[in-house]
Structure 1
Amino acid sequence: MGFLRCLFRFSNMPYPYDTARRVSGLAVGLFMVSIALVREASAKEPQSFSKTAHAVIKADKTEEITVAGTSHAPAPMRPAGQTTFSSGRDNYANQVAQSVADMVVTIPGASFTQGNGPRDTVVSIRGSGDRQSYGLKNLQVLEDGFPMTQPDGTARADLIDPHAYEGVDVFEGPASTVYGNYAINGAINFRTRKGADIHGVELGSDFGSFGLFNTYATVGYGNRHYDLMVFGSDVWSKGFIANSRYNTATESMRLRVSLTETDRLVLKVVNNQTDAYLPVRLSLNQYQANPYQQSCYQATSAAAGCASVLLLQNGRYGTKEAVSPEAAGLGRFDRRTIVGLRWEHDFSTRTLWRNQFTYDQRHVNQPTSPTSFVGPYNSYAVSSDVTNHVLIGRTPLETFGGISFDYLDYGYQTYNIMPYGGASRGAMSSESYGHQWNLGARFQEDWHFAPKWHFVIGLGGTYTDIGATETLYGYSATSTTRRYVTANRFFFNLAPEGALIYTPSKNWTLHTRVGTAYGTPSSSNLFITPQGNYGNNTQIQSQSSVGVDLGADWRPSDTLRVQATGFYEFYNNELVSQSAGVNAVGSYTFNAPASQHRGVVLGVDWQPLPRMIPGGRIKLSYTYDNQVYTNYTEVLSNSTLSRAFDRAGNAIPGVIPNFLNARFLYDQPDGPAEGLGGYAEVIWRDSYWLDNANQLKAPGYALLNLEVHYNPPARMGWAHRLHWYCEVQNVADQVYVAGATNINDTLLGNGQQAGAAALMSSTGSIYAGSLRAYFGGVRLSL
């Protein structure tokens, strides 16, 4: 009945005219480009590049080095000894795939929460980012090997429309040896689709609850001379929380050209525009009373369950007025443009040289709090590396070495918002100008010293320079004051690593690794005080970690694969952030002198009854993550006194201790129903602490999702080109917490810490997740 209801809703769904008009133009343009490319390529080379490459490998095994050299990542694609999980299109292409969460949900060790915006998913690897309010933190993010993380450690998932991607690889654990600054918990590489695999044009639409409508088009073609993929999408939705409607347009292109037999160019372009209205995060009390902020447009902070922000009536000083985010016009109106170029040169079949340049501009206009944040972030990244394969006797040795330099300059202003609607700007409250650059080098050796053994050793280092000046403005009826805060910070970090891999048989691979990592503060961390105001926080230090992994990959048969890794990581000066409430201008970041992370990640892919139910399959991913302070004393203050509290032994807030995804899939392999399939999915997330004193928890949840799809087999002629699906999310219609940021503990007048009852009124923490939702989609290949 759920799927029938889903289909009924689609048949009665209004068509969003403006979005359709814009995307129809995009689709027609892409279609015309693809026709021209197909005609030209067909005349020159009837065989696709993927088939050609396969033939070359068979003809001469030494060519495997050259083919590996054209991999997407400028660093080793799968760093030996490091725990690595991947997710391909088969895990998300048959569903609505609204955000990066749909790409990583089946990856052990990965979890996600809702960030500040519709596709701003906070992806966490082993708990690294759960406590953040936005973006992908403590990770290096790549796309086709080009950096998506700016030099200040900022990466956002808004750029990612899963329809454009072939898959994603997640490298877990400390990874600064190869990936440099901010790879404190690993790296992620997103891989776009190859033009040769698309071989034409694909047009598609997703539609469903809350007015969602995403129209997209993909053009691709390739041979051994070039490979081109062009993708564009436009998604619109009114959202399920008041003031959460959005429109996001994304364009992506990758072009590989073989200039000669030994030289290749790869051109990468990504552009994204996000126009999103934004609700504010709630307290736990507000969430329980009114999780979706209904009927709150004219409400004040006194209204039960309604969130509001306090805005200066004249935009400068004096009286403040409580205004709902919808009435204030809070939102995010951002643009991101990335252009990258890589030259790959083969000195020989054994030695590859790569040189890469990336320009990345992030321009933000974010009236998300009582102040509006406006400004550009321009960054430039260059890198050069060499990969060499030799034989020491009969044992192969792979050597990788590289250098990199990236530079960010920025200049932003913040303005007081006035309660007149439309995020009306008042006087400037602060401005900041600065830069950050990172100069790094890395080296790694991977030696197969015996048939079943190989050993990896590496060393990486980065020198970081941060310089910034912030001007704080104060206003009164008679004067304007200025206060200056200056930061000039320099950091140098080293990251050695070693790994040992043993493959006793084709069914077993065992690995152990000692890895290290580091992450410097970003300029934004330096100017937010514990009260959540702009000011001086320039004393914070770089964080570092040492981690030990012990894992196994077991494949006893073609129908079962089990991957498991245990990890234990030791942190010094870990950077932890917490919110001071909805009226704060940002989250405060501090150093915890010592902490430990330990846990287990487990992945299972099992076809339990291959003969009786050949299309049946079970995919399971599970993460256990226990993170505690081992040395941290927190000082709390009120208007009359201060007290110190020892947090050693307390759980680090914002970390989900247990995360489980289980999918039960079926795809009919033959017969009249060939191509028909679907799955039932269970997502379980444990409750987790929100404060350093471990007084208040965000509640956990368990969700059930259902999906059915149909891919007509090739024997059905033209119908084979049409794919459709239908999906029901949150079948039980639960109200649940999709994202919750850390909150401050407070000191009462009697010198005692506030308990859970008081903390439940702390705002700026919680976003609710979607109620039951129905989605569907169609995709046509031409």
Structure 2
Amino acid sequence: MKHAHFPLNAMAALFAISSGAIAAEPAAEPVDVVVISATRVGHTVFDMPASIDVIDAERIREGQARINASEALAAVPGLVAQNRQNYAQDLQISSRGFGARSAFGVRGVRLIADGIPASMPDGQGQAATFNLDMAERIEVLRGPFSTIYGNHSGGVIQLFTREGDGAPSIETSLTAGSYGSRKADLNAQGKQAGIGYVLDASRFETDGYRAHSAATRDQAYAKLTLAPFDNAKLTITANALRQDDTQDALGTSWATYQRDPRAGEIDAADTQNPKRTLADRYNTRKSIDHQQIGANWEQRFGDDRLRITAYGGNRSVIQYQAFSKAFQAPATHSGGVVDFDRDFYGTDLNWLHVSQLAGGKLSTTIGLEYGRSSDDRKGYENFIGSQFGVKGALRRDENDKVTNLDPYIQAEWETGAWLLSAGLRHSSVKISVDDHFLGNGNDSGSLDYSHTTPVLGLLYKLAPSLNVYASAARGFETPTLNELFYSGAGGGFNFRLQPAQSTHVEAGVKARIGGDTRINAALFQVRTRDELVVDSSSGGRTSYRNAGRTLRQGVELSLDSTWQYGISTRVALTTLRAVYDQGFGTVLKGSRLPGVPNANAYGELAWKDSAGRFGAALEAVGSSKIYAEDANADQPAPGYGVLNARVTANQHWQGWRFKQFARLNNLLDKQYVGSLIVGDTNKRYYEAAPARNWLLGVSAQHQF
């Protein structure tokens, strides 16, 4: 077996290039992007008292397949975004350790697309609904100001798509790569009669790197923008995602991973077929059908602004899990097939008022956010007789409702070199269960969670090119529906879970060196009580419990530079000490939080010719070891470091624009664990990352 090691030499070289005394020619100062994620008042990233990174369209689109948000998010400090090589379970995303324990989907990090939540009222979100083909930028907010978004806001990731403008154009792109991966995308955009439009449709298919991990994903997206009145703007977005019978590879034990990283776990209970895997025996898979539509109305009255957002949609899921027949014996068990149909909708209404106060500018936003989801949820046995992986007898039938009602206020006062920002949000989350299947007891009941989250930030401009800031906040995380569904190894709905409450503090510095180098650095600490941790996890079913106190302390650093001859560099470094500050059960004080590396890094050395026709880049990605369970007793996923390379080219001919790219990932062919299933009862924690792999892409755009 080849062990992966952190690429110290590669990282050191990239860092030296970024920070060394290379005599660069004067470069034009890059334009700062105005962001709204932290204070809801537009500012450049440089002038925000918060840790926030902006990923632009070039980083999202150029040289990427635009299949997973993790492709672009790798360059953000403080954020860990892992492609699990399992499209049945979505990405694994954590911000400063929040969300690392998620068994599937994204929790602990708030997802928003074009102002429309991609996270449900309980905090569970799906990054797969993001449309990366039409993305204009992604804003990644970390630290205290994340909490102003309420429940499950350990971080905020906002996607903004492009708006239709100019003459009509149509574009098609094709990509193909290792393991049978291929994607086709077709889009059109333009603006006519004052109406901007964007239309996009794509299909992605893969045979999968890991055994039993094939997937097909169809996505569609539409966006209309118009200005029906003076100083008014209406934006309508709609998106759809469909994945039929997406195979679920499950996790593997350490022994299986060492033997063959691509292999599935053998089903030891299947004595008649000693080589058959659990995934094959139960045909573990998931089908997803998601549709959503939303509208945003913005009306300006001088400096004041009214914004109204409304959305609604439906999500249907059927999932076949890997439970053995023996494990389904308890009367309380809800079966190995999850089948639910969800309707959801919500609205956000806010008013921005700008006035003068004490010689400075005061901007005050008052708002109210409401969200509701209703699940018609059923569970079935996943066998009939001796046949597994089929829908059997009914074992669960209930209706689950989650609502949130959050009034909030944010105020920002700016005068001279000072900027003071403060906010207050009161979140009320209500969860109710109406159980219709009483053969295993009545799980009907309700839970009410509420919490007030204040935030305060202060920024001081020491010089035109140097800002310092400090911020603090309180935050909270309720259990998601998925975390409430089971209690212990075979129990029903878990009404005992309490929300986790946290206190965040941060201090940082933002600097410009000349016109071509930017540095952002942040020092932070988060104390949490009643942290939600995995109680047991097996075959795709996970139950949770409250632990004691946890402590997160860390440093984030990002450094961007441009040099002569078209060379640019980026470095993003994170160190994070995330530990249990109080022991519980067999877990000792000081044990590391599972799923959270104590260091990760990204480095990039890129080149582009002066005409912008050709480009190339070398990327380095590294992570320290990661523990898989609370006691830190089992084999952790070893640290790793990988190198990736990409080249791009584009040409213009009359009204046409052609682009090509080639990407080679894991250049040195390292074998490493890319992600973990935290707390798996059977110790099948490990999800292998791909060996050396390639990707090619071409596109053609015609503007009429």
TM range (shorter): 0.7 to 0.9
Could you tell me whether the CA contact under 8 Å between 2:144 and 2:506 is conserved in 1?
A: no
Map of 2:507 onto structure 1:
550
Q: How does 1:351-362 map to 2 (within 5 A)?
A: 351-362=304-315
Tell me how far 1:678 sits from its aligned partner.
1.0
- Alignment-derived partner of residue 125 in structure 2: 155
Counting only pairs closer than 5 Å after superposition, residues 710-749 of structure 1 correspond to structure 2 as 710-712=649-651, 717-718=653-654, 721-743=657-679
CA spacing shift, 1:265–1:689, aligned 2, 3 Å: same
Say which of 148, 161, 183 aligns to 1:192. Answer: 161
- Residue 501 of structure 1 corresponds to which residue in structure 2? 459
**Aligned AA (1:377):** R
SS in 1 for 2:165: helix
Q: Amino acid of the residue matched to residue 549 of structure 2?
A: A
Question: Distance between the aligned counterparts of 2:460 and 2:196, measured in 1?
Answer: 37
Equivalent position of 1:24 in the other structure: none
Q: 1:343 aligns with which of 260, 274, 297?
A: 297
- Equivalent in 142, 146, 149 of residue 172 of structure 1: 142
Partner of 1:515: 473
**Residue 528 of structure 1: aligned partner:** 486
Q: Report the alpha carbon displacement of residue 404 of structure 1 after superposing the two structures with TM.
A: 1.2
Answering whether residue 584 of structure 2 is matched by residue 633 of structure 1, we say yes
Cα distance between partner residues in 2 of 1:198 and 1:231: 17
Shift of 1:113: 2.4
Residues 303 and 460 (structure 1 numbering): CA distance in 2 closer, same or farther, change over 3 Å? farther
Provide the C-alpha distance between the structure 2 equivalents of 1:197 and 1:554, rounded to a whole number of angstroms. 36
Residue in 2 aligned with 1:318?
none
Query: 2:89, 2:105 within 8 Å by CA — same for their partners in 1?
Result: no
* Deviation at residue 359 of structure 1 after TM alignment: 0.4
Are 1:458 and 2:416 an aligned pair? Answer: no
AA aligned to 1:158 is: A
Superposed CA deviations along residues 639-682 of structure 1, whole A, max 9, x for unmatched, are: xxxxxx35222111111111111111111114xxx511111111
Q: Hey, what does 2:393 align to over in structure 1?
A: 427
**C-alpha distance in 1 between matches for 2:455 and 2:272:** 55
The 1:527/1:120 distance shift into structure 2, 3 A limit, reads closer
1:707 aligned partner, one-letter code: R
Distance in 2 separating the partners of 1:176 and 1:488: 28
Query: Unaligned regions of 5+ residues in structure 2, if any?
Result: 1-32, 324-335
Structure 2 Cα separation of the partners of residues 552 and 68 of structure 1: 18
Normalised TM-score (structure 2): 0.87
* Residue in 2 that maps onto 1:412: 377
Give the equivalent residue in structure 1 for 2:237.
Answer: 268
Given candidates 610, 624, 631, the residue that maps to 1:693 is: 631
Instruction: Trace 1:366-381 onto structure 2 (pairs within 5 A).
Output: 366-370=319-323, 371-381=336-346
The counterpart of 1:386, out of the listed 343, 351, 356, is: 351
Larger proportion of helix: 1
In structure 2, relative to structure 1, the CA distance for the partners of 1:720 and 1:255 (3 Å cut) is: closer
Q: Indicate the SS of the match to 1:243.
A: coil
In 2, are the aligned partners of 1:198 and 1:219 still within 8 Å (CA)?
A: no
Deviations 1:614-638 (A, max 9, x none): 211111111111111112412xxxx
Structure 1 residues 235 and 534: alpha-carbon distance in aligned structure 2, compared to 1, 3 A threshold? farther
Aligned position for 1:589: 544
Task: Tell me, yes or no, if structure 1 residue 127 matches structure 2 residue 97.
Answer: yes
1:367 partner letter: Y
The superposition leaves residues 561-609 of structure 1 with CA deviations (integer Å, 9 ceiling, x where unpaired) of 1111111011121222354333xx51121212211111011111122x4
Identical aligned residues as a percent: 20
Contact kept, 8 Å, 1:175 with 1:517, in 2: the verdict is: no
TM-score of the pair, normalised by structure 1: 0.79
Deviation at 1:412, TM superposition (A): 0.9
Deviates most, 458-467 or 393-402: 393-402
Q: Could you give the per-residue CA deviations for residues 208-267 of structure 1, whole angstroms, max 9, x where no partner exists? A: 111111110121113793322111111111111221111101111121110110322111
Distance 1:366 1:397 in 2: 51
Q: Structure 1 residues 230, 744: CA separation in 2 closer, same or farther (over 3 Å shift)?
A: closer
1:765 corresponding residue in structure 2: 685
Separation in 1, partners of 2:567, 2:201 = 34
Asked if the contact 1:280/1:325 (under 8 Å) is kept, the reply is yes
- Equivalent position to 2:220, from 251, 254, 258: 251
Q: Which amino acid aligns with 1:661?
A: Y
- Secondary structure at 1:771's aligned position in 2? coil
Distance in structure 1 (CA, Å) of the matches to 2:587 and 2:598: 22
Structure 2 CA distance for partners of 1:706 and 1:357, relative to 1, 3 Å: same
Query: Which whole-Å CA distance do the structure 1 matches of 2:445 and 2:275 have between them?
Result: 39
Partner Cα separation in structure 2 for residue 168 and residue 227 of structure 1:
21
Q: CA deviation at 1:426?
A: 1.3
How far did 1:75 drift?
Answer: 4.3
1:413 and 1:598 map into 2 onto residues whose CA distance is 42
Q: What is the CA-CA distance between 1:398 and the residue it aligns to?
A: 0.8
Q: Using the TM superposition, give the Cα deviation of residue 205 of structure 1 relative to its aligned residue in structure 2, in angstroms.
A: 0.7
Please give the secondary structure, in 1, of the residue aligned with 2:444: strand
Could you report, residue by residue, the CA deviation over 1:247-290 in whole angstroms, capped at 9, with x for unpaired residues? 10111112111011032211110100012111121122221122
The match for 1:63 is: none
- Contact between 1:329 and 1:421, CA under 8 Å: does it hold in 2? no
1:617–1:666 CA contact under 8 A, matched in 2: yes
Q: 1:777 aligns with which of 685, 697, 700?
A: 697
Aligned to 1:575: 532
Paired with 1:169 and 1:624, the residues of 2 have a C-alpha distance of 21
Displacement of 1:706 in angstroms is: 1.0
Please provide the CA RMSD for this pair. 2.6
1:81-125 alpha-carbon deviations (Å, 9 max, x no partner): 221111112213222233110121111111122445268111111
Q: Match of 1:437?
A: 403
Runs of 4+ displaced beyond 4 Å: 71-80, 296-307, 419-422, 470-473
The alignment of Structure 1 onto Structure 2 pairs a total of residues equal to 650
Report the AA paired with residue 353 of structure 2. Answer: N
Shift of 1:399: 0.7
After superposition, residues 561-572 of structure 1 pair within 5 angstroms as 561-572=518-529
Per the TM alignment, residue 305 of structure 1 is displaced from its structure 2 partner at its CA by 11
Q: Is the 8 A contact 1:291 1:305 kept in 2?
A: no
Paired with 2:521 and 2:88, the residues of 1 have a C-alpha distance of 32
2:284 corresponds to which residue? 330
Is the 8 Å Cα contact of residues 625 and 657 (structure 1) preserved in structure 2? yes
Q: Helix, strand or coil: the match of 2:393?
A: strand
**Which residue in 1 is equivalent to 2:19?**
none
1:704 maps to amino acid: L
Q: CA separation in 2, counterparts of 1:152 and 1:98? A: 26
- The one-letter amino acid paired with 1:341 is A
1:506-561 Cα offsets, whole Å, 9 max, x none, are 21111110022112122332231232x34242111111111111111111112211
Q: Provide the rounded CA distance (Å) in 2 between the counterparts of 1:484 and 1:574.
A: 28
Distance in 2 separating the partners of 1:678 and 1:484: 61
Task: Note the C-alpha offset of 1:683.
Answer: 0.9
The structural deviation recorded for 1:393 is 5.2
Q: What per-residue deviation string (whole Å, max 9, x for no partner) do you get for residues 18-76 of structure 1?
A: xxxxxxxxxxxxxxxxxxxxxxxxxxxxxxxxxxxxxxxxxxxxxxxxx999x799945
Map Cα deviations across residues 363-413 of structure 1 (whole Å, 9 max, x no partner).
Answer: 101113331110112111112100122222542111111011111111211
Closer, same or farther: CA 677–242 of 1 in aligned 2, 3 Å: same
User: Residue 395 of structure 2 aligns to a residue in which SS?
Assistant: strand
Distance in 1 of aligned mates of 2:395 and 2:309: 39
Distance 1:452 1:179, change over 3 A: same
Q: Structure 1 pair 630/375, CA: closer, same or farther in 2 (3 Å)?
A: same
CA distance in 2, matches of 1:413, 1:126: 35
Distance, in Å, in 1 between the alignment partners of 2:524 and 2:37 is 28
Provide the secondary structure at the position in 2 that maps to 1:425.
Answer: coil
Change (3 A) 1:500 1:426: same
Tell me whether 248-257 or 92-101 shows the greater mean CA deviation. 92-101
* 1:628 alignment partner AA: V
SS at structure 1 position matched to 2:392: strand
